[in-house]
Chain A
Amino acid sequence: MALPKPLTNLSALADAFGSNSIRVGAIALDREHAIAMAGELLVASGRATPEYTESMLEAVAANGPYIVIAPGIALAHGRPSEAVLEIGLSLVTLAQPVVFGNQANDPVRLVLGLCALDHDSHIEVMAGLAALLADQDAVNSLLNSVTIDEIRSLLENAG
């Protein structure tokens, strides 16, 4: 996708979250349920097909709970494939923390879904995400948000 001028990291981050990509205070029964919700939001926001959600679940089954990248935060994703329509992120905050099986970082309260077309075109988005997640205050605000609008404004303004 050609853009007229380079976007900053943070607007690239906010743009990666399409409409209907965020859900607040969801109730997940287990790890698979939580990951499936993040996948469904990528589908709902037009960034991936339902097959991509399947690949997210297969990835965690095959490779383990390493996707819990920081205390309380999971980054669920599959691999680039035809099931990916456009780079996208989704976000689910969980009403009740869910155990993913990651000793260091369980339980999970925030699940991010990610789909990418290839291995490097989403680097700018990831840089924005890294900056956001490294900011503990911003993460706490995300976790404590009760509306989608609050989360949107954090995604647009954090950093």
Chain B
Amino acid sequence: MLGDNRDMKIIAVCGMGIGTSVLLKMNAEKVLRQLEIEASVDATNVAVARESRDAQIILTTPDLVDQLKGLPSEVISIEHFFDLEEITEKLSAALL
């Protein structure tokens, strides 16, 4: 449990912050709507994410998990970005 969902901040991370992370953000937003969870999802690159301290959850790809270790955020890795079931399952496990 992560407490008050209204202030939930999630970041979607890829190497550059323009491609993969944007797709991940869109699919995560879709899933959050279905789960009726209010949260903001921002797409960003791995360098910016490493400096961030205020995200509860970081969504990223298995390749980048190691680069995001040691942050206060929970890091969730998504293998198939268009598999809404995978995203739903992993976000539910973290949020509900």
Contact = CB atoms under 8 A, between A and B. Distances in A.
Contacts, number: 77
A77 B80 contact: no
Contacts of A133: 23, 82
Interface stretch (B3-11, B32-40, B58-66): B58-66
Interface residues of B, number: 26
Contacts of A104: 62, 79-80
A116 B20 CA distance: 13
A71 B80 contact: yes
B95 interface: no
Nearest to A84: B18
A47 to B, nearest CB: 14
Interface in B22-67: 22-23, 26-27, 43-46, 60-64
Given A79-B45, A126-B22, A119 B63 contact: no
Contacts of A116: 18-19
Interface of B: 14-20, 22-23, 26-27, 43-46, 60-64, 79-84
Interface of A: 59, 62-67, 69-71, 75, 77-80, 102-105, 114, 116, 119, 122-123, 126-127, 129-130, 133-134
Given A63-B16, A63-B46, 17 more contacts: A63-B64, A66-B15, A66-B20, A66-B62, A66-B64, A69-B80, A69-B81, A77-B18, A103-B62, A105-B80, A114-B18, A119-B43, A119-B44, A126-B19, A130-B26, A130-B82, A134-B27
7 contacts: A63-B16, A66-B20, A66-B60, A66-B61, A70-B80, A105-B79, A126-B19
